[in-house]
């Protein structure tokens, strides 16, 4: 198959290389001309779309229009890659390509980050819903800097009648936020974000355990802190 001179390939189509997890198998070290590369890329694009690794909007096949919007489904890419035994960045050198383009490498790193966060978020949600501290600890181990997991853990500990351990979790969340504030980030934005997440965690547990007075009291204190922040009250933790 020869690419015609008139054929115009949107720039985004080349960034689809990150999804071409089969490309190292196609690039066998032989010299590949532009037409052959177009052919291989078209095949790989079709394969990636069929696997939901890429999404295409604004144009029909063969996806040549300038209106093509080719998106990267990072989570699906990471899942697919998790089932393989190599990453494209490592495989490309083996097959004679100098190195993976930086945008491909960056996108692969982003895909893995997205996948890891999806996994840890799922564990945290399940742990909070099920009252499973082990799952919450697994999520925390995966993302130790995420204070929302600490707040979920604190709320579960309160629901289980362990206020001392709950305070430790809430204090840990506070320290993670304060560290970022000390590094120059907005106190108001970070504290509101933290407290709203804490409010959600406490509200969820209070719905699951409506008889638990400690949960209700902690929820009320958290809501008071939110009010003080929003109204720039003298009791605001950002004063």
pLDDT at 120: 86
pLDDT, position 14: 40
Can you give the pLDDT at residue 71? 67
Q: What is the pLDDT of residue 38?
A: 56
For residue 229, which of 183, 180, 173, 191 has the smallest C-alpha distance?
191
State in Å, rounded, how far the first CA of the chain is from the last one: 68
Q: What is the pLDDT of residue 135?
A: 95
Prediction pTM value: 0.59
Q: What is the per-residue pLDDT for 230? A: 94
pLDDT at 18: 42
Q: What is the DSSP string of 143-176?
A: -TT-HHHHHHHHHHHHHTT-HHHHHHHHHHHHHH
Measured CA to CA, the distance from residue 210 to residue 200 in angstroms comes to 15
The three-point CA angle 46-47-48 to 5° equals 95
| Segment 26-37, tens digit of pLDDT | 444 444 455 555
pLDDT score of 15: 41
Structure confidence by residue, pLDDT tens digits, 133-181: 999 999 999 899 999 999 999 999 999 999 999 999 999 999 999 999 9
* pLDDT at 175 (0 to 100): 97
* pLDDT average per 10 residues of sequence, the chain (239 residues): 36 42 43 53 64 68 62 62 46 38 50 68 93 96 93 97 97 96 94 95 96 96 96 94
| Structural Rg of the chain based on CA atoms | 25
Whole-angstrom distance, CA of residue 137 vs CA of residue 131: 12
Looking at residue 119, what is its pLDDT? 81
Residue found under tokens 């929302």: 148
Whether 205 and 155 have beta carbons less than 8 Å apart is answered as yes
């Amino acid at each position: 198959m020869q690419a015609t001179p008139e054929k115009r390939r949107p720039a985004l189509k080349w960034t689809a290389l990150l999804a071409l997890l089969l490309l190292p198998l196609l690039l066998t070290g032989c010299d590949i001309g532009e037409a052959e590369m177009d052919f291989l890329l078209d095949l790989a694009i079709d394969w990636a779309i069929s696997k939901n690794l890429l999404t295409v909007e604004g144009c029909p096949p063969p996806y040549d229009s300038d209106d093509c919007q080719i998106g990267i489904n990072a989570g699906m890419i990471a899942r697919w890659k998790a089932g393989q035994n190599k990453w494209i960045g490592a495989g490309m050198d083996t097959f004679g390509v100098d190195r993976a383009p930086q945008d491909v490498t960056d996108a692969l790193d982003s895909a893995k980050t997205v996948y890891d966060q999806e996994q840890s978020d799922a564990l945290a949600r399940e742990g909070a819903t099920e009252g499973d501290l082990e799952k919450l600890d697994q999520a925390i181990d995966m993302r130790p800097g995420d204070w929302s997991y600490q707040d979920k853990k604190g709320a579960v500990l309160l629901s289980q009648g362990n206020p001392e351990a709950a305070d430790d979790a809430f204090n840990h969340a506070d320290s993670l936020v304060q560290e970022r504030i000390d590094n120059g980030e907005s106190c108001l934005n970070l504290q509101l974000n933290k407290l709203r997440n804490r409010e959600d965690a406490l509200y969820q547990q209070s719905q699951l355990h409506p008889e638990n007075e400690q949960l209700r009291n902690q929820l009320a204190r958290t809501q008071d802190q939110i009010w003080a922040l929003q109204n720039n009250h003298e009791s605001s933790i950002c004063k």
